Chains A and B, each alone.
Chain A
């Protein structure tokens, strides 16, 4: 069972929700569509399910063109963000719904419902109504209801978006487990990059209705293909700079760092540094920039540092065990050692990039 999305586009009035999107999902893969809200990722999922009609483009499921088929005919499993359980039916009836529509024999339905109740660990809740369940339980019922009919592919629209942190992590891990067990080709939509990194085999990053980058979690995190991807996947510091004498000069300072790119002298760039790639040093060295410690926040398992470099405040994360808290104080001069960083050329100039990132909500 594979999914192929080919050049799909969708407008809502004059708003372009999906703009020429193509990607493949291989047999048994668990793929995350990751992007900020309003990026069009849910619309793409709904187009695959047949709940929205694309203006252009085609959808193939297992090689078959399903673009013209209704949702009813596509036989995909779809899990909604707000569960969409049938409120007037019990848990058991909800799970049995798809099987009853298929007019399966009564005993078979009963056996299947039992099996699924066990699978989603809701024994004893068969006769409960959705309103009597917690959010996590409801979403498990929704999952059971969806896989009851053994759909060819499973589509999940922000399946854990309405749940609180802890339930969400448990359920995400459980979904991964379930996927490994059933091996059903799945696509899930999320705006939570840690969720995407944690459970997916492949991440498709969506921004403004387009595919920004595709790849496994490690690839998109370590080798972001665009400023957007770099800033969206994980936390990142965005610093204005330019190339001078084959070095990266931080804007409005005399501080510089090795140019790891082949961007020529004189060009404006932005420097992207992940907070966890910075370590604080007392002495300067290779790939070090002088800075002033502005704040040290205790965050439980780690410390979050605000470092000032030429007026830019840069976030750094230090592990609780390796960071020597007593060694540092506010307004102390120090050096930040940068293990990894990324450089992007900014033909449009710094302000435009900053404005874009601000609109997307990645920087303040």
Chain B
């Protein structure tokens, strides 16, 4: 392809400009706002018990969602790629449902199901276990919205890797378990890491589904995103900005680390 035509310059400018408007400017806005309020205010608003509780809760929910959805995501990918069964296409279609359904709608579905009067919730209520307006419900909601990431990222890599490497492991004396750990899993490593990264980012940032099922109780069921929202509604902008900045930094760091790792392995 020819490289020095004016069209190319226009396209590059367009892309850079688009990024600037949509991504760089908002980030600059947050940084600007936070800096304006002063670093000490940022530190103090992040170290209030409410803020600390909120971030800690986000951390636990994210950890739970990542562990559970990594395990299930791998199992789902393995089954959908390697097994043939009736209704496989339906399951594969349903896998994308969390992408399509609005998180708020998802949250309401869980309230109906797991609420104190819900189909499953009433039984748990009888056992003295609260799901909705409590941690389990928030984890379930986060699981739902992050369900597709690991499976969707692992499936194409798994398909591309094919069966032969595993067969080679078997004839070399490996058990199915050994073949999985030594051959299958390492060969889908990058898909998996990417899926986990997206799961983490989405878990940290989830708002809609979580606010519905959590009831947004300060110091109990308020996550970092809900804390930011609270800051806005209470006109406590310093709290909102500093928490938002911290979340943004976390997400960026995550993405950049992954990109660098990915690049480094590709080069070697």
Contact = CB atoms under 8 A, between A and B. Distances in A.
Contact of B167 (A51, A77, A85, A101): A51
Contact of B173 (A72, A84, A86): A72
A81 to B, nearest CB: 9
Contacts of B252: none
A102 B169 CA distance: 12
A50 B172 CA distance: 12
A85 to B, nearest CB: 8
Nearest to B168: A84
Contacts of A86: 165, 168-169, 182-183, 186-187
Contacts of B164: 80, 82, 84
Nearest to A151: B171
Nearest to A75: B173
A88 interface: yes
Contacts of B168: 78, 80, 84-86, 145
Contacts of B189: 88
Contacts, number: 63
B171 A97 contact: no
A316 interface: no
A75 B172 CA distance: 7
A353 interface: no
Contacts of B175: 72
Interface in B134-178: 161, 164-165, 167-175, 178
Interface in A39-93: 49-51, 70-72, 74-78, 80, 82, 84-89
Contact of A77 (B165, B171, B187): B171
Interface residues of B, number: 18
B167 A71 contact: yes
Interface of B (DSSP majority class):
helix
Contacts of A145: 168, 172
A149 interface: yes
A305 B63 CA distance: 76
A98 interface: yes
A84 B165 contact: yes
B169 A97 contact: yes
B202 to A, nearest CB: 27
Given A86-B183, A87-B187, A88-B189, A101 B174 contact: yes
Contacts of B173: 72, 75, 98, 101-102, 149
B72 to A, nearest CB: 23
B171 A71 contact: yes
A51 B187 contact: no
B171 A101 contact: no
Interface of A: 49-51, 70-72, 74-78, 80, 82, 84-89, 97-98, 101-102, 145-146, 149
Interface of B: 161, 164-165, 167-175, 178, 182-183, 186-187, 189
| The 7 nearest A-B residue pairs measured at CB | A84-B164, A98-B172, A84-B168, A78-B171, A71-B170, A88-B186, A101-B173
Given A51-B167, A86-B186, A88-B186, 15 more contacts: A70-B170, A71-B171, A72-B171, A72-B175, A75-B173, A84-B167, A84-B168, A86-B165, A87-B165, A87-B187, A97-B174, A98-B173, A101-B174, A146-B171, A149-B173
